[in-house]
Structure 1
Amino acid sequence: MNPNSITTTPHQNPNPNRKRTFTVNFFSTKIHTVVTSTPAVARKWVHSLRYHHRNSLPHIGLGVQWRPTYSADSAATLQLCVDDDCLIYQLAHTTAVPAALRRLLADDRVTFFGVHNGRDRKLLEESEHELEVECLVDLAKKYGYGNWSMQDMAAKVLGKYDVVKPYWLGVSDWDDYWLSNEQIQYACVDAHLSYCLACALDDDDDDDDDGCDSMDYDSDGSGYY
């Protein structure tokens, strides 16, 4: 997807049906990425996040990929990223969502960020797992970037000019259990860029309003790619 600046390396895992791990090299950052449909693995990831950020609640990048059918129950993956840690939770294949993850998403002290993410809330709420996100911010809308793509914002705000998010990957088969390396990279970069953009933009914002209550989401998620 980004052969020069962004690469993905799979790790050997003793039980890949339980979880798979990857290192996504994003420019100079090595992102440890966990891909799983196992509730206990997702629970451990959330507990680790809470422990390492127990003194300050972080910005969290959030993304959702959907099933190609576009049915009401179409959320296939939920990806979260903080710093250099990313979780890709395969909602289409999990038997349950752990309470720790539900509490994190519903915590009104935690803000989740994305770009043109109006569809994400609806996809999560209408999934079979009925996930609720208390505070979800569209960075493009909040900071006046209009229809700018995530790639354009990455170049302007972060100076990352080699980010490519191919349309065909965005609409690929995300309910496949064995997601490809390209899909893993796409989902990870989506959540990581949301996190990085939030850190760059939100930390410079003198306004204490996080924008959660004032957002009216676009129903079609236009401008996402």
Structure 2
Amino acid sequence: MAKEIEMQVFSVQHVLVEGSLSIVATVTDHPRVVRKWINNVSNSLQKVEMNVIGLDAEYMERATRKIQRVAVLQLCLEDDVLVYHIIHAPSIPGELHDFLSREDIYFSGAAITGDKQKLEPYNLDLKSIADLQTRIKIHVEDCDKPTPSLFDIANFVLGTNLQKGDENIKVVWMGELSLDV
């Protein structure tokens, strides 16, 4: 008889507020939380005209010349964000495979072809993608970079001037989730 192991589900919800902008971010490494988020978002997608999900991936540091693996997968619909620490997940839910491979949902992000490629080692395939760097033109006075990041594009579209602190730029994505600050 197999012994049942009780796993602790790590999931934290943050409500981030900047002026009138409010975002609910679910941070997790557990497949059950991902399944619930996908189910909620799938229900919400039935009420919108165009199915577009924001996607960004953060990678492990390159130790070899092999393709870098995604450490954190971020998905977003309107003000509902999932931050999935996929590198520490005990498994990847089939619902995530199915969700990402839906042809009726466009996954959008900056340099999303790179994210698509780096998700392949997990057997995750994005069927429909839209690269915001090629679709949204930002004037030089609004962004001083030749190729704006997803953060720059979001600031431009939302009309915000959010800043990334130094602590957010040098994050090591390999670390396990923790409540320690």
**TM superposition shift of 1:157:** 3.3
Please give the residue correspondences for 1:135-214 in structure 2 after superposition, counting only pairs within 5 Å.
Answer: 135-145=128-138, 147-161=147-161, 163-165=162-164, 169-178=168-177
- Indicate the residue corresponding to 2:119 in structure 1: 124
User: What is the aligned length?
Assistant: 165
Q: Judging changes above 3 Å, is the alpha-carbon distance between structure 1 residues 108 and 171 closer, same or farther for their aligned structure 2 residues?
A: farther
Query: 2-side partners of 1:125 and 1:107: how far apart?
Result: 15
2:81 to 60, 76, 86: 86
Confirm whether residue 34 of structure 1 aligns to residue 33 of structure 2: no
Letter aligned with residue 46 of structure 2: R
Q: 1:68 aligns with which of 22, 36, 61?
A: 61
Question: For residue 44 of structure 2, what is the amino acid of its counterpart?
Answer: H
Shift of 1:94: 0.8
Taking structure 1 as reference, are residues 16 and 90 closer, same or farther at Cα in structure 2, changes over 3 Å only?
A: same
Structure possessing the higher relative contact order (Cα contacts under 8 Å, 6 or more residues apart): 1
Could you tell me whether the CA contact under 8 Å between 1:68 and 1:171 is conserved in 2? Answer: no
The answer for unaligned runs of 5 or more in structure 2 is 1-6, 139-145
CA contact (8 A) 1:77 1:174 kept: yes
1:173–1:149 CA distance, 2 compared to 1 (3 A): closer
**Maintained 8 Å contact 2:51/2:104:** no
State how far apart, in whole Å, the 2-side matches of 1:47 and 1:116 are: 27
Alignment identity in percent? Answer: 25
8 A Cα contact 1:65 1:170, kept in partner = no
Give the corresponding residue for 2:12: 20
Q: Where do 4+ consecutive residues of structure 1 move more than 4 Å?
A: 179-182
Counterpart CA distance in 1 for 2:179 and 2:170 is 13
Give the alignment's TM-score, normalised by structure 1: 0.63
Secondary structure in 1 aligned to 2:56? strand
* Aligned counterpart, 2:72: 77
* RMSD value, Cα: 2.6
Structure 1, gaps ≥5 residues long: 1-14, 183-225
Cα deviation per residue 1:99-149 (whole Å; 9 max; x = unaligned)? 1111110000000111233321111113xx221111121111123456234
Contact 1:63 1:78 in 2 (8 A): yes
Cα 1:40–1:64 change in 2 (3 A) is same
Match of 1:106 among 101, 122, 144: 101
Q: Report the Cα distance in structure 1 between the residues aligned to 2:76 and 2:62, rounded to whole angstroms.
A: 26
Query: Take 2:77 and 2:120, find their aligned partners in 1: how far apart are those partners?
Result: 22
